[in-house]
Amino acid sequence: MIEKTTLILNGIVHTINEHAAEVSDTLVEHQAHGGFVSDTLKSLHDTAHAAVGHVVHGAEHAAHGAGHAPELPNWLELAKILFPGRLTEFLFAWHVVIFSAVVWLMLSFFCIIAYRKRSIYPGKLQNFIEWIVETLYNLIVGILGPSGAKYVPFLGTLFVYIFTMNVFGLFPGMFSSTSKLNTTLALAICVFCYVQFEGIRTNGLKGYILHLAGSPKSVVEWCLVPLNLPLHIIGELAKPISLSLRLFGNISGEDMLLAIFAGLGIASLAFINPPNWLPGLPLQFPFIFLALLTSFVQALVFTLLSSIYFSLMTHREEEHH
Amino acid sequence: MTVAVAALGSGLGLGKAVGSAMEAMARQPEAAGKIQTGMIIGAAFIEALTIYALVAVILLK
């Protein structure tokens, strides 16, 4: 019974990965895919009693059996399935980059429009963007001191970009690029390189190495340099790793949560052989709010941590927050 | 099993952090905004450790 349910649920997760619930009526027309969906639903109708009880257990098995993290499909994946060909395969292979490009194009578009029509009496869009910029400015200057104002563009952009990318995946058919380690590692490496460069620029090369050795000022501290130096270097290397893994784990975990609960929603109505316009209950809806919260918090934490790394490296202001 | 143990640890840590944040907010209600901000950020850090465990499990499967 469990094996049959697992196989069926493997089919469900496979189906969810390859088809969206919204286009199920289109799929019925495409015979190969349509047959698979209706076969799956009929088999579910047969195993009604065990299905609901074992759904989550089976979904876990199916997820691990499938070999990769389950996630809801996006437009490029659908395009690859509905119109198989070299162009859609190429687009799907690059879907992480393409969705992140869509995000920054959208953001640039908004900002350019607000900039073109700026005036002393701001309109709604300009007011909104000014509110965002001022809040970020206060946040970052609060950590870095007044001399930190030159880092506000970089850190502010980090926040807005990461927040928009995280939230982007919650729209149906869209995908958040931060749910892949590629994007988050790239962002963390950017921050790492900029922080080290700023450290060398403000402290000088000798001061930078002394700072890494723990800024020894007395004989005792000089003796501890062979201990401090590797420790600090490992600490510096651990920073981008932790930044990227934290963001990646949180956002991909949210995506997986949504996908698994969407599967649960489909399985919950399976025993009554549902019509095509209602494949399942939207059980993942409350988790979208949780995903909004963690998207915001993770973007904020990324930005705050990056600004704290800047302040640790430059040590300019002695005011601690 | 790994993730369960990590979740236990983060549950304990978050409980202590949020508990002391609540206590601090009760002692000085006018600083409640700042304390709340600090609490959310601290919670994100503590949660990150559980997420590392989850990511390790997923990457190794």
ipTM of the complex: 0.73
- Flag the least confident range among A40-54, A258-272, A296-310: A40-54
What is the overall mean pLDDT for chain B? 84
Same domain as A117, residue A253: yes
**Residue among A98, A94, A59, A92 at smallest CA distance from A73:** A92
The reported pTM is 0.73
Domain boundary pick from A63, A83, A103:
A83
Same domain as A258, residue A110: yes
Domain that holds residue A8: 2-83
Same domain as A105, residue A7: no
pLDDT number for residue A68: 62
pLDDT number for residue A308: 87
How much of chain A, in percent, has pLDDT values that exceed 90? 21
Give yes or no for a contact between A130 and A156, defined as CB atoms under 8 angstroms apart: no
Same domain as A132, residue A15: no
- Residue B44 sits in a domain whose CATH number is 1.20.20.10
Same domain as A308, residue A209: yes
Same domain as A122, residue A67: no
pLDDT number for residue B7: 86
Asked if the Cβ–Cβ distance from A301 to B58 is below 8 Å, we say no
pLDDT tens digits along A205-261: 888 888 888 777 788 878 888 888 888 889 889 889 989 999 998 898 888 888 888
Same domain as A272, residue A190: yes
Three-state DSSP class for A169?
Answer: coil
Contacts of B43 in chain A (CB under 8 A): 297
Which tokens go with A9?
């649920």
Same domain as A153, residue A17: no
Asked if the Cβ–Cβ distance from A64 to B51 is below 8 Å, we say no
Q: Is residue A319 domain-resident?
A: no
Same domain as A74, residue A10: yes
pLDDT number for residue A51: 35
Three-state DSSP class for A284?
Answer: coil
Is residue A21 over pLDDT 80? Answer: no
Domain boundary pick from A26, A53, A83:
A83
Taking CA–CA distances from A245, the nearest residue in chain B reads B52
Cβ atoms within 10 Å, residue A83: 9
Tally of domains within chain A: 2
Positive or negative torsion for Cα A266, A80, A35, A43: negative
Is residue A191 over pLDDT 50? Answer: yes
CA distance B58 to chain A (A): 8
Mean pLDDT of A266-275: 77
Q: Which helix (H) or strand (E) holds A144?
A: helix A124-144
A-proximal residues of B, 13-32, CB under 8 Å: none
Burial class (CB in 10 A: 0-12, 13-18, 19+), B4: exposed
- Flag the least confident range among A52-56, A151-155, A217-221, A262-266: A52-56
